[in-house]
Homo-oligomer: A and B are copies of this chain.
Amino acid sequence: MKIQGNLIIFSTDSEERKDVRKLKEKKLQLVLNENNNFPTFEINSKEYIKKSAENKIEELFKTPQFYIEQLYTWGDPSYHINNSELTISYLAIINKKNIKKMPKNLQFYDIHIENKENSSIQHITLSNKNKKIQYEIDTIVKRVRENIEYINKLVGKYEINELTAIIIHAGIKRLRNRIENTNIAFSFLDKEFAISELQQIYEIILDKKLVAANFRKKIQPMIKKTDKVVKESAYRPSNQYTFNEEFIRNWV
């Protein structure tokens, strides 16, 4: 049986500043190759799969700094691309500043999700300056056997493989779950950061605006103030913070 791994790599980018007095707005990004699909890696029986996935990312971006975890294994008979009959997905988070080299066949796409009013349909746009991919996904709640399950289905016209869309969906769901229960948010940022940067990571992943004053208090135990101050070219300079290593929860 032929197996392959694929990599669902998330990152962020900052938009050009439109108003000098406003903060740069961060956007959530995803890596796809020229076929609108995820980069793949080989799986062999000599090595832990996770190690193979890590090696591939190192090879691609020439950096050992990133977050990675297994996302899901897909055995959908209709997803046999590259002769592969089974795909093991790994979710990764990478801070672009750590990327030493960008492979030519890969590109970062901004993710934009729009929830259609009064319906379970989400409109997703993946875009960068060269390309735009659009599709709609319907998240249906359905009774399957004895249980209630979410079924995702592409609807209307789409420019992407159905399973690819479902994997993106699964990846974002996982991010949302992890950001509430672990410290993955820090994987998007430099070692030192402003609270507003951290807040933006939460906002783009959870896809909602947060109240700064409350956010600050909520994440207080997770961060440590450094003595550094930086004017992230906003007006009042902000303190730099780091992740508080002492903060451990019942993660995973």
- A248 CB contacts on chain B under 8 angstroms: 141, 148
**20 further interface pairs, Cβ-Cβ under 8 Å (given A3-B86, A70-B72, A150-B251):** A1-B1, A1-B44, A1-B45, A43-B86, A45-B75, A45-B85, A45-B86, A46-B77, A47-B77, A48-B76, A49-B73, A54-B145, A64-B145, A66-B145, A67-B145, A70-B73, A148-B183, A149-B252, A150-B252, A173-B252
Q: How far is the CA of A187 from the CA of B3 in the complex (A)?
A: 33
Q: How far is the CA of A63 from the CA of B167 in the complex (A)?
A: 31
- A251 CB contacts on chain B under 8 angstroms: 148, 150
Residue of B nearest to A89 (CB): B73
Whether A147 is near chain B, meaning CB under 8 Å from some CB there, is yes
A residues touching B (Cβ–Cβ < 8 Å)? 1-3, 43-50, 52, 54, 64-67, 70, 72-73, 75-77, 80, 85-86, 88, 141, 145-150, 173, 183-184, 187, 248, 251-252
Q: How far is the CA of A145 from the CA of B77 in the complex (A)?
A: 35
24 contacts between A and B (CB under 8 A): A1-B1, A1-B44, A3-B86, A43-B75, A43-B86, A45-B85, A46-B77, A47-B75, A48-B75, A49-B86, A50-B75, A52-B75, A54-B145, A64-B145, A67-B147, A70-B72, A70-B73, A73-B73, A75-B88, A146-B187, A147-B183, A147-B187, A149-B252, A150-B251
Shortest CB-to-CB span from A221 to chain B, Å, is 15
Q: How far is the CA of A150 from the CA of B146 in the complex (A)?
A: 33
Q: How far is the CA of A149 from the CA of B52 in the complex (A)?
A: 18
Contact status of A88 and B73, CB under 8 A, knowing A3-B3, A187-B146? yes
B48 touches A77 (CB 8 A): yes
Residue of B nearest to A173 (CB): B252
Name the 8 nearest CB pairs between A and B, nearest first. A49-B75, A45-B85, A73-B73, A65-B146, A150-B252, A67-B147, A73-B88, A48-B75
Shortest CB-to-CB span from A73 to chain B, Å, is 4
Contact status of A146 and B67, CB under 8 A, knowing A1-B1, A48-B75, A73-B73? yes
